Every structure is written in structure tokens, then in C-alpha cells.
């Protein structure tokens, strides 16, 4: 039986991996070995997703966290190498654009193990984002690139990937499969109100965690001023990322926004289902908002999910209070069409079948 090693480390990766892990388990053609780098170490940010999404327990937890980008990536590589030497997988599967993604791809290719990258070809154009560096390098050294959109394929072609010995597949976005899997498990609005003490018919779901927003005290304070202004018109609920919580404490930032502990995947889907709008700097949540047919304010100068901007389903905004409030009002008044198929169908099956084909063609 062939073996696939899946390297995971952060919330969006757990969600994406759950789809493919279920297919791998059902088909019984591969043995999957899950390696958790430990990048998300808080239980609400990590283990709860394994339990809730039905991901098989990680065979390894490298427990690498709480250090800077360089140290984290280097330590992950140091820990991954002996694991891959011992397991001898036929293919290493990585997701997204985190340090875990880059570390897994680098170690595997240096050891001569093929790499499949799910969510390849995305570009924000902002090289100050660590994620942009991770995704560019991972794409270049992978063997199979699963691109969620036509634009992602175009990005790779414009960078000359057509001349490389790399297979590019426009597979669609695997997170769409995950949202569909949980669509009948949303619970009721009454349950949500009682759980979080919500009042009124409408609320905005907000998440802020990226270092460019969180590490700058003036930037973070401006974001909360904008959210506080929005909260005067409707409720705002924010599952508070540990990084954001620590920064708010350090910078003495107070807010009238309803702050709740980080939530599991099911609870986040419930919040998305019942909210009026999403305000976020998360790449994954932008798409989940689309899948739930909710407009999204993206608190970033660029986004890799350009389709959402082009179709008017999301808008870029700055931390400025006036701009945040203006974008909120604009999206409230905008007529939106969520019935466009931007991210494919049966994505998990497409990815699985392409992996089988790759291994067969390469006699692995």
C-alpha cells in the first residue's frame, strides 16, 4: 500500500485536509500519515478541529511554536526530516501558505519525495506577507500544483511555470467541499443567541489576526475604532485569536465588540451562516463568507482571492474608521449575486484522482 504524509499546522489546513482525509479513508488505497507541526498549539485552534472534522489523530506532533518565522521554519524542517526518513512516504501533501507548508515541501524535495501543494498559484502581490513568500517557494518546488481558480493557473503561467516539470491542475477550492459537508449542522439562531448572549436580528462576524494588523499598535487600535463604530449600528462578534488577545493586552486596547474565545469549525460555520457580514484579514474566511453568501470586508491592501473583489462580493478596506464604516455601508447597499460558481465542484475527488494518476504515471 502506498503512503501519503500530510503536513498540517494551522486551522485552515485542518479544514482542507479533512475533506481529502475522508476520501483517502473511504478508498483504502493509501495509508495516510498525518504530521502536525504544532504551529497552532492552543486546543481551540488545533485539536478541536481534529475532533470536530473527523481527521485521524496525528501520528506525530512536532510541537514547534512560539518562535519567529525563521526559527519556526528551521525547527520544523529539523523535526520533519527524521520523521520522513522513518515513514518513507511516496508523496508529501501540503496545504496553503503557512510555515508548516514551506517546511514540509522543502524537506520532502531535498529528500527526493514528490510534493503535492493544495491551494497553489495564489498571489497577493505583497512580498511583505510571510504567506506570500511561503506560497511562491512551495509552488516552485512542488511536483503537483492544485490551483483553486483560473486566476491561480494564470499566475503560475505568467511566472513561467509552463516551462517547469510540474503538473498544474485547476481543481477548485477544497474548502467548498468542507462547507457543504457541514451545511446541515448549523443549529438554530436561538442556540447561537443563547450561547454567545447575542441580541437583535443582525450581527457582523469579525476576525483579525495577521501580524501586519496585530503587531502595529496604531493599526490595531484603528481597526477596533472602526469595529466599534460599526457596532453602534449592529452587533459585532469576534472570536479572539491568541495573537490578537496578547496584542490588545500589551497595547491597552479596549473595545465594545463582543469578544469570544476561539471557536471550532462547526461553531464558526454557524456564526457565518447567521451573520449579516464578515470583516476579516483571514484568507480562508473570505472564501467561507462567499460559500455562506455573505459580503466581506477584507482589512488588507491586497487579497489572493481576487475573484471576490472582481465580482463585488468582497471589498478591500484599510484600518481607518471612516473607511471601514464606509465600506460597511457600501456592502449593505450593494446588490450581490452569489450564484456564480467561482471555485469548482467535487474538488476533493478531483485532487484524489489526480494524485493517483501522478503516482501511477511516475511508477511510484
d(CA 333, CA 141): 44
Residues facing residue 6 across a β-bridge: 34, 93
For residues 171 and 146, the answer to whether their CB atoms sit within 8 Å is yes
- Cα dihedral sign, 271-273-277-279: positive
Beta carbons within 8 Å of 97's beta carbon, 6+ residues apart: 119, 122, 131, 132, 134, 135, 138, 283
Set of cell numbers at residue 270? 454557524
Please give the Cα distance from 158 to 45 (Å, whole number): 36
Q: Which of 209, 241, 273, 292 is catalytic?
A: 209
Residue 45 φ then ψ, to 5°: -105, -5
Helix (H), strand (E), coil (C) string for 8-49? ECCHHHHHHHHHHHHHHHHHCCEEEEEEECCCCCCHHHCHHH
Residue whose entry in the numeric block shows the C-alpha cell 495509508: 31
Answer yes or no: 40 catalytic.
Answer: no
Which parts of the chain are beta strand (E)? 2-8, 30-36, 60-61, 91-95, 115-118, 144-147, 167-170, 203-207, 235-239, 258-260, 277-280, 296-298, 314-316
| Distance (Å) of CA 195 to CA 76, 191, 227, 267, 280 | 37, 6, 22, 10, 22
Please report, for residues 118, 145, 336, the alpha-carbon distance to residue 344 in angstroms, rounded to integers and kept in the order given: 14, 16, 19
> What would the grid cell of residue 340 be?
456564480
Distance CA 65, CA 201 (A): 40
Which of the 8 DSSP states describes residue 234?
S
Residues annotated catalytic, as ranges: 209
Amino acid at each position: 500500500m502506498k503512503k501519503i504524509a500530510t503536513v498540517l499546522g494551522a486551522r485552515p489546513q485542518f479544514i482542507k485536509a479533512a475533506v481529502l482525509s475522508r476520501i483517502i479513508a473511504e478508498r483504502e488505497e493509501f495509508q495516510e500519515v498525518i504530521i502536525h507541526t504544532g504551529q497552532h498549539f492552543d486546543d481551540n485552534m488545533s485539536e478541536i478541529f481534529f475532533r470536530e472534522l473527523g481527521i485521524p489523530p496525528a501520528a506525530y506532533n512536532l510541537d514547534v511554536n512560539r518562535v519567529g518565522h525563521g526559527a519556526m521554519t528551521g525547527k520544523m524542517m529539523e523535526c520533519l526530516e527524521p520523521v520522513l526518513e522513518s515513514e518513507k512516504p511516496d508523496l508529501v501533501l501540503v496545504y496553503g501558505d503557512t510555515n508548516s507548508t514551506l517546511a514540509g515541501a522543502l524537506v520532502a524535495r531535498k529528500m527526493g519525495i514528490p510534493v503535492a501543494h493544495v491551494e497553489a498559484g495564489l498571489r497577493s502581490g505583497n512580498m511583505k506577507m510571510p504567506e506570500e513568500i511561503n506560497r511562491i517557494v512551495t509552488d516552485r518546488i512542488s511536483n503537483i500544483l492544485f490551483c483553486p481558480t483560473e486566476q491561480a493557473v494564470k499566475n503560475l503561467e505568467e511566472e513561467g511555470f509552463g516551462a517547469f516539470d510540474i503538473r498544474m491542475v485547476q481543481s477548485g477550492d477544497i474548502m467548498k467541499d468542507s462547507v457543504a459537508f457541514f451545511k446541515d449542522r448549523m443549529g438554530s439562531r436561538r442556540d447561537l443567541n443563547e450561547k454567545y448572549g447575542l441580541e437583535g436580528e443582525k450581527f457582523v462576524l469579525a476576525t483579525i489576526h495577521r501580524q501586519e494588523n496585530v503587531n502595529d499598535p496604531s493599526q490595531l487600535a484603528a481597526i477596533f475604532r472602526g469595529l466599534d463604530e460599526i457596532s453602534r449600528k449592529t452587533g459585532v462578534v469576534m472570536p479572539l485569536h491568541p495573537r490578537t488577545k496578547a496584542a490588545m493586552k500589551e497595547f491597552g486596547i479596549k473595545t465594545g465588540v463582543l469578544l469570544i474565545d476561539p471557536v471550532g469549525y462547526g461553531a464558526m460555520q454557524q456564526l457565518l451562516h447567521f451573520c449579516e457580514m464578515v470583516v476579516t484579514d483571514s484568507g480562508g474566511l473570505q472564501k467561507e463568507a462567499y460559500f455562506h453568501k455573505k459580503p466581506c470586508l477584507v482589512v488588507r491592501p491586497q487579497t489572493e482571492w481576487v475573484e471576490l473583489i472582481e465580482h463585488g462580493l468582497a471589498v478591500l478596506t484599510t484600518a481607518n474608521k471612516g473607511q471601514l464604516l464606509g465600506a460597511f455601508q457600501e456592502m449593505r447597499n450593494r446588490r450581490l449575486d452569489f450564484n456564480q460558481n467561482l471555485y469548482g465542484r467535487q474538488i476533493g475527488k478531483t485532487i484524489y484522482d489526480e494524485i493517483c494518476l501522478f503516482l501511477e504515471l511516475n511508477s511510484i
